[in-house]
Amino acid sequence: MNCEKYYLPATVEEAINILRENQGNARLIAGGTDLVLQLRERKINTKALVDLSALKELNGITENNGWITIGSMTTHQQIAASGIIREKARVLAEAAQSIGSPQIRNVGTIGGNVVNAQPAADTTIALMALDARARILTNQGEITKPVGELFLGAGQSAIDPTSEILLAFDIKTPGAREATAFMRLAKRKALALPIVNVGVWLKLDQTLSKFEDIRIALGPMAPVPVRATNTEAVLKGAPLQQTVLLQAMAVLEKEISPRDSLRGSAFYKKEMAKVLLKRAILVAVKDLGGELGE
């Protein structure tokens, strides 16, 4: 680490001004659980750090006019413990709860998890299933982007932490007949990165006998977190039947391309992605009182 300056701004405006003045030589730091390691290993270099931890406006979870807003500095622990998130966005509560260890969850933030841009970052997978929108402060003002558009490659975010600030995520409050679920496979329950993780949001039709709509997000199946849109297309409008699920799993197998890695072979990850998808769908359907026929 070779940092010369450390800033602790009191407002978002002050933070963006510091970034602007430093012209690419200062970088935002949130909980530091990813960044400090990257600085130590010299994978990232910066002359100055801009600590966001005093910015109360970036921390917390609120619900207004049909939208749930989560500040980028909200920690995984806050998300996992939030009544709003547990009740209305279960996929995200469970994803946050699965991260690292209590120490990591107490300091690691949802904003840092997304900007670090790993293909299986747990809250990212949940946010993609929820079709969350990210609010970002740029030099041109505030912009909004779907979370799915924030990933350019493994570890490469569309948000530049030397000039832009991720402010918050907005998620639509779920309506009637909508439910979510999160499934994760890892070598241990704590302190293990996922071999496969799957987030599902779905809506059933009025009779609770058909999938009206569905979103499926998975990691690590490519250099970036992915939505399984071909698999979603098989399920949209289809009846709640085991045979339909089998068709969806066959399409998923063709749609994803994980790689062999220390955590598991590509074959194993594909097989487990299919199993976890099925389990996630069954949990969400059951939550709504639906049942899968033959």
Q: Which residues bind ligand FAD (CB under 6 A)?
A: 27-35, 52, 72, 99-100, 104, 108-109, 111-113, 115-116, 121-122, 159, 161, 165-166, 191, 193
Contact in structure between 56 and 45 (CB atoms under 8 Å): no
- Closest distance of CB 104 from ligand FAD, Å: 5
Between 194 and 290, name the residue whose CB sits nearer to ligand FAD: 194
Between 120 and 244, name the residue whose CB sits nearer to ligand FAD: 120
Between 76 and 227, name the residue whose CB sits nearer to ligand FAD: 76
Between 34 and 232, name the residue whose CB sits nearer to ligand FAD: 34
Please state, in angstroms and as integers, the Cα–Cα distance from residue 284 to each residue in 53, 76, 77, 214, 232, following that order: 35, 22, 23, 11, 15
Give me the residue whose beta carbon is nearest to ligand FAD: 112
User: Helices then strands (H, E): number in the chain?
Assistant: 11, 14
- Closest distance of CB 182 from ligand FAD, Å: 12
CA distance 275 to 193: 18
Q: What spatial distance separates the first Cα and last Cα of the chain, rounded to whole Å?
A: 59
Bridge partners of 178?
A: 203
Task: Enter the tokens of residue 222.
Answer: 């490519």
CA distance 67 to 87: 14
Residue 147 has phi, psi (to 5 degrees) of -55, -35
- Closest distance of CB 261 from ligand FAD, Å: 15
Between 84 and 104, name the residue whose CB sits nearer to ligand FAD: 104
- Closest distance of CB 275 from ligand FAD, Å: 20
Task: Enter the tokens of residue 152.
Answer: 């350019």
- Closest distance of CB 12 from ligand FAD, Å: 9
Between 130 and 249, name the residue whose CB sits nearer to ligand FAD: 130
CA distance 180 to 285: 9
Between 138 and 209, name the residue whose CB sits nearer to ligand FAD: 138
Dihedral sign (CA 252, 257, 263, 267): positive
- Closest distance of CB 33 from ligand FAD, Å: 3
- Closest distance of CB 79 from ligand FAD, Å: 10
Residue 48 has phi, psi (to 5 degrees) of -145, 150
